Amino acid sequence: MQLDPRRMAILLAVYRNGGIVAASDTLRISPSAISQQIRLLEKEAGVQLLERTPRGAQLTSAGRLLTDAAERIEAEITGAQRELLASSGQSVTGMVRVGSFQTGILALLLPVREQISQLHPGIELRIYELDDAVSRRRLRSGELDMMLLEADESVTFTPTRSTKDIPLTSDPWVLAVPPHQPVPASLSELTKLNWLDMDISTAGGAAMRRLEGALGHRFNSTNEINDYSTGLTMVAQGLGYCLVPQLALGSFPAPAGVVLHHLTGLGGRKVVLRHRATRLEPDAAASEVIRLLTAKGH
């Protein structure tokens, strides 16, 4: 049995993109050419690799074995390229586009950008502050190479096809207490507070809903916020309590009078790097950004 690794990479693209037509857009070859290469690979393997269904092409168990092998080959090639560049003294060049939320930019991306400017001046790191849904859409379309995701610890991330998730950091939630207001000694006392609410689609909002569920009580709130810097300013004016991730406090110091309370049981926020993972991605420049972000996060 002689398997062509190039055809295995095409099968992997079909799996990651969810079908032959979508894979043709990523690989920039026609659907008929992809189908032909898959048939040739099936002939080489001696087994069926794709099952054609009304919902599209699905991997068989043999197909899953080969896509797993193709991912290992892809990872080995990427690693070898990185080691060759390092050993030869060649500088890594290229443009890397990253979408992120505000605190991810301030606490992670900007420090990494400084490192890159010193280590790899040939890498151009472009940073876009975007809503989560916009970043996800641009990542799928290839307009972004990677994005940062934030979520409460109760949320599970599921990477889409053609992407891979890397956990970067987990930081505890901190309770911001307005000036001259009581500091709760236990979680049960949170039910007595007036809160700055956040939408459940945000990490802070999901954390509040988790705590409400655990306490069996809906928090009282008269105002709503969308970012932590606004929240801290409103807390300083006595408009309510709010949750702030520890990582954000490095970028937004608490105003005078605000008490930052590390209350046991609040839980934490997690930050994940999601990057495109295809036959040609990540390239050497993106791989270096991933490496530096991973080191910064940990």
- Domains 91-168+271-294 and 171-267 equal at CATH topology level: yes
pLDDT value at residue 26: 72
pLDDT value at residue 281: 84
Question: Hey, what CATH topology would domain 5-87 get?
Answer: Arc Repressor Mutant, subunit A (1.10.10)
Q: Of 6-20, 32-46, 283-297, which gets the smallest average pLDDT?
A: 6-20
Half-sphere exposure of 297 (CA within 13 A, CB side): 23
Q: What is the pTM of this model?
A: 0.72
Q: What is the pLDDT of residues 233-289, one digit of tens each?
A: 999 999 999 999 999 998 889 999 999 999 999 999 999 999 998 767 888 899 999
Beta-strand (E) ranges in the chain? 50-53, 56-59, 94-100, 123-129, 146-152, 163-177, 194-197, 220-224, 242-245, 259-261, 268-276
pLDDT value at residue 90: 67
Q: Where are the domains of the chain?
A: 5-87, 91-168+271-294, 171-267
Q: Is 139 left (phi over 0), alpha (psi -120 to 50) or beta?
A: alpha
Q: What is the pLDDT of residues 62-118, one digit of tens each?
A: 998 998 898 888 778 777 776 776 676 667 889 999 999 999 999 999 999 999 999
Q: What is the DSSP letter of 191?
A: G
Q: Tell me yes or no: is domain 171-267 CATH 3.40.190.10.
A: yes
Check if the beta carbon of residue 171 is closer than 8 Å to that of residue 250. no
Q: What is the pLDDT of residues 132-153, one digit of tens each?
A: 999 998 998 889 999 999 999 9
Q: Could you tell me the two tokens for 64?
A: 């899953």
Q: Is the peptide bond before 167 cis (omega within 30 degrees of 0)?
A: no
pLDDT value at residue 225: 96
Q: Determine the CATH number of domain 91-168+271-294.
A: 3.40.190.10
What end-to-end distance do the CA atoms of the chain give, in Å? 43
